Amino acid sequence: MGLIADSSAKRPRNKRALTSVRVSDGSTPRFLQGPFEFEGNGLDKPSLIDESLRYVVPPGSVTQPVYFRGGNSSKQMITVVLFRDGKPMRYFPIAAKGATHVALRVVEDLLGDTVLELHVAAPSGCSGTVVVDLGLVEI
For the domain 33-138, what is the CATH code?
Answer: 2.60.120.1340
3-state secondary structure at position 139: coil
What integer is the mean pLDDT of 49-57?
97
| The pLDDT of residue 133 | 98
Q: What phi-psi label fits residue 89: left (phi over 0), alpha (psi between -120 and 50 degrees) or beta?
A: alpha
What integer is the mean pLDDT of 15-20?
33
| The pLDDT of residue 72 | 98
Domain boundaries, the chain: 33-138
**8-state DSSP, 58:** P
| The pLDDT of residue 24 | 65
Give the whole-number percent of the chain exceeding pLDDT 90: 76
| The pLDDT of residue 14 | 35
